[in-house]
Structure 1
Amino acid sequence: MAQPLSAADVVTALRAEGVTVVQVGSWRTHNRNSKGAWGPVNGSIVHHTVTRGTANTVAMVRDGYADLPGPLCHGMIAKDGRVHMVGWGRTNHAGGGDPAVLAQVVAEDYGTRPTPPTRGNSNGVDGNHSFYGWECENLGDGKDPWPADQYDAIVRVQAALCRAHGWSAKSVIGHLEWSSDKVDPRGFTMASLRADVAERLTHPASWNPSSTPTTENAMPNAKDLWSYKNEAQGETSDAYAYLRNTKKELDQVGADLAALRKDFAALVDFIKKG
């Protein structure tokens, strides 16, 4: 358990970890503290927003909506990797969750993931009291890609918090690991995210790896699309080279097929004459 970082301290920690921080309005005093306590904190929860577009996503997580007033998180991690700070204090992000999961996170005592939760928002314990919350801009359909810059920022944000509090990566969980009625984040596994956070924590906060950690569905920025290659999967040619070589191969297949058709026609003609 730990007392929450101050707004100034979290900005310092994030920037030290290489995170680009965008401070939205009076975020330092924007919270739901009138509804209950925030802290001691036990960990950090990662969410997805089910939205498209950074500007409207920032507005939504800051202001909330009819059934759930904002702020809905402490920071929103955009597709481009920038982290928009929208609130500090108690926020409406975690809702109710499983007390058994909370105990495992507090003790940092579980395997690759906590025990699957059996309680949710309606019958669980208060998570808004105990966790930092980070929304990530994504449709949450399992198809919307997670750009490398965004995923890298998620890793850095979680590492910054763990480093500041002396936590291990097991203090970082997904909403789906906290509440039985949630599915977020969708598109990467929390086990892989924790592994990347754990790796980062073995290095100084200023560490910049030679290759950015990527999710299975991660894609490069549009401007880098044609020069993209997944070196982790052993790819040695960029996307444009693959496309160019594929066209050559298709052209050759077409030529070979035309030759086969010519030979077949000649064979049919020979049979008929024989």
Structure 2
Amino acid sequence: MATPLSAAEMLSALKTEGLGVHEHVGWTTHNRDKATGKAFGPVIGVLIHHTAGHGDRELCFDGRYDLPGPLCHAWLGRTEGLWLIGHGRANHAGLVDHDVLDALRKQAPLPHDDHAHADGNDCLYGLEIENLGNGKDPYPDAQYRQAVLWAAALCRAHGWSERSVAGHKEVQPGKIDPSFDMDDFRADVRKQLAAGPTGTGGKPAGKASKPRVDLSRLIDAAKTDPEAKQGHVSYLTGTNLTEAALVELGHLARTYAGDGSFGSATVTAYARWQRHLGYTGAAANGIPGRTSLVKLGAASGLFTVIA
């Protein structure tokens, strides 16, 4: 745990890492501390999001009718660069899994996020990356590199490793942001930390890669969840990505997606996808196979597959 950086320390850390930084008017005092009666900190890590839209810098500053701003500490545009939005408590994380927070605090491997009962806004810095988040909206190399530098700068300033970095989808059940692979992102942060704040110059620190769905874990979920108690979750991230793809391609109603459970409605929808591919009989039973899952990920653009 650490004391949050002051506004001046934040700005210095980002610039030292090699980032160009834009300062939104009023960012240094823009927070939710007074309104909520909760002070920001101690901090334990950084959280990566995508905005699910474009041209949303001011939305992240002002907030929505149901969620006051700031909605992040920094906003990273597709072409507009990095903007400091708030300093202090921000409405970006919401309720998250306490076990995941413990792992970030210990810089340990992250467990599965199956609960949402701790306030992540208390202790996590948040970056919102301008992107539709549908798997078809690419992250320009320059934008992705700036995200890596932002995370590395804060980790370096606090003496953290890449283990203090998480995606929103890794801390809160039902979330799918950001729409790139967080293991690859952490690996790029690790490389940047090892190189030093000026060690990589303008060289790329990797490229955004799609999330990966583990086929064996998804098969277990498809066989286990339908007969389990309501709300049982075996493989939240992979199931959510599969359901999002089925929704995208018109095989599953949106109302049945996003709870992390590979229930009977998802099995039925996956069977529709298998029949769409030409499978029949037992080969279209709603249990994912490698070929059908690879084709689902490719057709939707949302994920790749590992065995």
TM-score by length of 2: 0.66
Which residue matches 2:172?
A: 179
Q: Which structure would you say has the larger Rg?
A: 1
Q: Give the SS at the match of 2:4.
A: coil
Which residue matches 2:113?
A: 117
Query: What does residue range 1-274 of structure 1 map to in structure 2 within 5 Å?
Result: 1-34=1-34, 35=36, 36-53=38-55, 57-80=56-79, 82-110=81-109, 114-120=110-116, 124-186=117-179, 188-207=180-199, 208=201, 210-216=203-209
Q: Distance in 2 between matches of 1:216 and 1:169?
A: 17
* CA distance 1:210–1:70, change in 2 (3 Å): closer
Q: Distance in 1 between matches of 2:135 and 2:175?
A: 14
Q: Distance in 2 between matches of 1:29 and 1:141?
A: 33
Report the RMSD for the aligned CA atoms in angstroms: 1.2
Q: Shift of residue 212 of structure 1?
A: 4.5
Q: Distance in 1 between matches of 2:90 and 2:202?
A: 33
The C-alpha deviation readout for 1:210-266, integer Å capped at 9, x for no partner, is 44521237xxxxxxxxxxxxxxxxxxxxxxxxxxxxxxxxxxxxxxxxxxxxxxxxx
Contact 2:181–2:209 (Cα < 8 Å) also in 1: no
Q: Distance in 2 between matches of 1:66 and 1:138?
A: 21
Give aligned-pair identity as a percent: 43
Q: Shift of residue 81 of structure 1?
A: 6.4
Give unpaired runs (5+ residues) of structure 2: 211-307
Q: Distance in 1 between matches of 2:70 and 2:205?
A: 30
Q: Distance in 1 between matches of 2:76 and 2:145?
A: 10
Q: Give the SS at the match of 1:46.
A: strand
* CA distance 1:108–1:214, change in 2 (3 Å): same
Q: Distance in 2 between matches of 1:45 and 1:131?
A: 6
Q: Distance in 2 between matches of 1:18 and 1:132?
A: 19
Contact 1:81–1:153 (Cα < 8 Å) also in 2: no
Q: Give the SS at the match of 1:202.
A: helix
* CA distance 1:97–1:16, change in 2 (3 Å): same
Contact 1:31–1:89 (Cα < 8 Å) also in 2: yes
Contact 1:20–1:81 (Cα < 8 Å) also in 2: no
* Structure of higher RCO (CA pairs closer than 8 Å, 6+ residues apart): 1
Q: Distance in 2 between matches of 1:128 and 1:154?
A: 19
The C-alpha deviation readout for 1:71-109, integer Å capped at 9, x for no partner, is 000000111261111110000000000000011110011
Q: Distance in 2 between matches of 1:210 and 1:65?
A: 37
Give unpaired runs (5+ residues) of structure 1: 218-274
* CA distance 1:41–1:103, change in 2 (3 Å): same
More moved, 67-76 vs 201-210 = 201-210
Q: Shift of residue 204 of structure 1?
A: 1.7
Q: Distance in 1 between matches of 2:63 and 2:191?
A: 34
Q: Give the SS at the match of 1:8.
A: helix
The C-alpha deviation readout for 1:19-40, integer Å capped at 9, x for no partner, is 1111001100000002112100
The amino acid that maps onto 2:115 is R
Which residue matches 1:249?
A: none
Report how many aligned residue pairs link the two structures: 207
The C-alpha deviation readout for 1:181-214, integer Å capped at 9, x for no partner, is 211001x100000000001111120122544521
Q: Give the SS at the match of 2:150.
A: helix
Q: Distance in 2 between matches of 1:212 and 1:167?
A: 18
